Amino acid sequence: MFKAWPAFSTVLLALFLGIPVCAYDVSLTENSIRDAYFLGTRLGGLNPDFLARYARLVPDLKQGNCTSQARLATPFLEVAGYSRTAPNYSAQGAVKDFSGKPLSFRIYLDVCYRLRAPANAVTVKIMQNKKEVVPNSFESSPYSESTEFGSLPPNGEHIVLEFTAAKIESSDLTILIDTSDGQHGETKFDLQALR
């Protein structure tokens, strides 16, 4: 019985190595869309504790009290957020609106690193499995920290990167940030733990 184990384990290993890492929610299933709908419409569903899993501080990049942060917006969160705000919306409507449609995967960065930061001076790389993932679009605008008295002068950049969800794999995603004055920060997300 155990003589067949080496051959079986070799076949099993070959199967695991031959299976590519799945793309991240290329198109949501009807069940995933319903889950997102009910999460979005349930009282307290998209609460701060749930949303905190999709955000990270980047403590190596800060200016004064402002610490840089990264936030993910997955297709699942897009459906949940839309369901939360759409009046008279139903689970059937969500399935009809989102089923089979490729949705975007977005990364939002607020990079704080110096007062009166120059425009378009931050470089960002997104890495998965030792390969760079190139966004479909990259938008940058001055970032100003808001206070109860208004906004301060720009102290960094607000960056939005948009990807086709099929480009994103269900593996660790690393965000590398470099500023024009030589500062570096990075943060990671485990996409297997997120929807």
3: left (phi over 0), alpha (psi -120 to 50) or beta: alpha
Contact 169, 61 (CB under 8 A): no
* pLDDT (tens digit per residue) in 136-189: 999 999 998 777 887 778 899 999 999 998 889 999 999 999 999 999 999 999
Predicted pLDDT at 45 = 83
d(CA 118, CA 98) in angstroms, rounded, equals 39
Predicted pLDDT at 152 = 78
* pLDDT (tens digit per residue) in 52-91: 999 999 999 999 889 999 999 999 999 999 999 999 999 9
Q: Look at residue 19 and tell me whether its pLDDT is greater than 60.
A: no
- For 7, counting Cβ atoms within 10 Å of its Cβ (0-12 exposed, 13-18 middle, 19+ buried), the class is exposed
Please choose, from the candidates 75, 96, 79, 86, the residue with its C-alpha nearest in 3D space to the C-alpha of residue 39.
Answer: 79
Segments making up each domain of the chain, as ranges = 22-193
pTM confidence score: 0.83
161 vs 23, higher pLDDT:
161
Least confident of 93-97, 100-104, 156-160: 100-104
Query: Residue 77 forms beta bridges with which residues?
Result: none
pLDDT-derived band at 18 (thresholds 50, 70, 90) equals: very low
Contact 130, 171 (CB under 8 A): no
Q: Quick one: average pLDDT of 44-54? A: 91
Q: Look at residue 15 and tell me whether its pLDDT is greater than 70.
A: no
Predicted pLDDT at 6 = 43
Taking residue 195's Cβ as centre, other Cβ atoms within 10 Å add up to 18
Q: Quick one: average pLDDT of 19-48? A: 78
- For 137, counting Cβ atoms within 10 Å of its Cβ (0-12 exposed, 13-18 middle, 19+ buried), the class is exposed
Q: Look at residue 8 and tell me whether its pLDDT is greater than 70.
A: no
Q: Quick one: average pLDDT of 107-130? A: 95
Predicted pLDDT at 185 = 97
